[in-house]
Amino acid sequence: MNIMTIVYSIASIGGLGLLFGIGLGYASKKFAVPVDPKVPLIRDVLPGANCGGCGYAGCDAFAKAVAEGDANPEGCPVGGIKVAQQVADILGLTVEEKDPTTAFVKCNGTCEHSQNHYKYYGIQDCNEAALLPGGGSKSCSYGCMGLGSCVKACPFDAIEIRNGVAVVIEEKCTSCGNCVEACPKGLIEIVPLKNKIRVACNSEDKGKEVRSNCEVGCIGCRMCVRTCEYDAIDFNNQLAHINYEKCTQCQACVEKCPTNAILGLQEVKVEEKAN
């Protein structure tokens, strides 16, 4: 071990370190990407769930899009009006108040109300099961299979499978829309939170088939359309659709519906009536 080895080691490793340090320091100036100072501010007020409900890759991407003017400050469905207000404050804009919304599963065909064609033992995922003949094991090809693809898609634990059908827990739901995309049957839609009168059926089959498949399906009798005084129920493809802007929640249709396919203000009561 001579003294020169020590000198060489220090000089070479130290020199390399210094060289790389200077190189990186120079590169960080030379290749610096300008960042809008508003982006981190906006990012801080966002919920940070990275759910993708806004249509961007995550909260960071959304913050960037808002700062650049590509996205609306109200674009975050999770944060709702509160976050929109804060984001708008940062950007110096104003926002209009919007009604809170929630996801809703348009099916009430629980184990008691409907049947299965056959027993399904395959992969526990709706998107896989929906590829099978008849669109899965459920007798109604439009109905919820209850395998829980939406449960897995929900970043907020706001969906449960109750009695074989997915149910949204509205207190937890932020209407990010992940479940809407996850459902192969297109059963889930975003509805206004305050409107409780909703058609819990998605079947476009004829009345006779609906009857044989499910006790609580919409059989297309048009009773609700005739009952409604406010012209709030549209009817197409053998299925009633409620126009939430016109509906006054008078519950007339809920009482008239022969199969209890329309859910009323108190869902529990409807359940009891069905039993």
Partner 1 sequence: MTQILVIFLGAIFVNNFVLSRFLGTCPFLGVSKKVETATGMGLAVTFVMTLASIMSYIVYDWILVPLEIEYLYTIAFILVIASLVQFVEMVIQKTSPTLYQALGVYLPLITTNCAVLGVAIINKNEGYNLIKSIFNGLGGALGFTLAIVLFAGIRERIEKNNILEAFKGFPIALITAGLMSIAFLGFQGLL
Nearer to partner 1, 65 or 247 (CB): 65
For 208, other C-beta atoms within 10 Å of its C-beta total 10
Stretch that binds partner 1, among 18-26, 86-94, 108-116, 203-211 (CB under 8 A): 18-26
Question: Contacting partner 1 (CB under 8 A), which of 125, 181, 189, 271?
Answer: 125
Closer Cβ to partner 1, 64 or 198, answer by number = 64
Q: For the beta carbon of residue 115, count every other beta carbon within 10 angstroms.
A: 15
Task: Spell out, one character per residue from 20 to 39, where the chain touches partner 1: x when CB under 8 A holds, - when not.
Answer: xx-xx--xx--xxx------
Report the nearest approach of partner 1 to the CB of residue 73 (Å): 24
| CA distance between the termini of the chain | 93
- DSSP reduced 3-state for 118: coil
**C-beta of 61: minimal distance to partner 1 in Å?**
9
Q: Which two tokens stand for residue 48?
A: 């940070």
Nearer to partner 1, 16 or 265 (CB): 16
With beta carbons less than 8 A apart as the criterion, state whether 142 and 202 touch. yes
Give every CB contact of residue 78 below 8 A, 6+ residues apart in sequence. 47, 49, 51, 53, 156, 174, 175, 176
Contact 259, 216 (CB under 8 A): yes
> Closest approach of Cβ 44 to partner 1, in Å?
20
Q: What is the smallest separation between the CB atom of 136 and partner 1, expressed in angstroms?
A: 14
Contact flag: residue 123 with partner 1 (CB under 8 A): yes
Residue pair 53/176 in contact (Cβ under 8 Å)? The answer is yes
The stretch among 9-17, 96-104, 206-214, 229-237 that binds partner 1 (CB under 8 A) is 9-17
How many alpha carbons fall within 13 Å on the CB side of residue 229?
5
Closest CA to 263 of 165, 140, 172: 165
| Residue 6 one-letter amino acid | I
Amino acid at 35: V
Tell me the closest approach of the beta carbon of residue 126 to partner 1, in angstroms.
Answer: 10
What mask, x for binding partner 1 by CB under 8 A, covers residues 134 to 153?
A: ------------------x-
- In eight-state DSSP terms, residue 205 is S
Q: Which is nearer to partner 1, 8 or 118 (CB)?
A: 8
Does residue 5 touch partner 1 according to CB under 8 A?
A: yes
Q: Considering only residues 155 through 184, tell me which ones interact with partner 1, judged by CB under 8 A.
A: none
Phi, psi angle pair for 57, to nearest 5°: -70, -15
Q: Is 12 in the site for partner 1 (CB under 8 A)?
A: yes
Binding site for partner 1 (CB under 8 A): 5, 8-9, 12-13, 16-17, 20-21, 23-24, 27-28, 31-33, 123-125, 128, 152
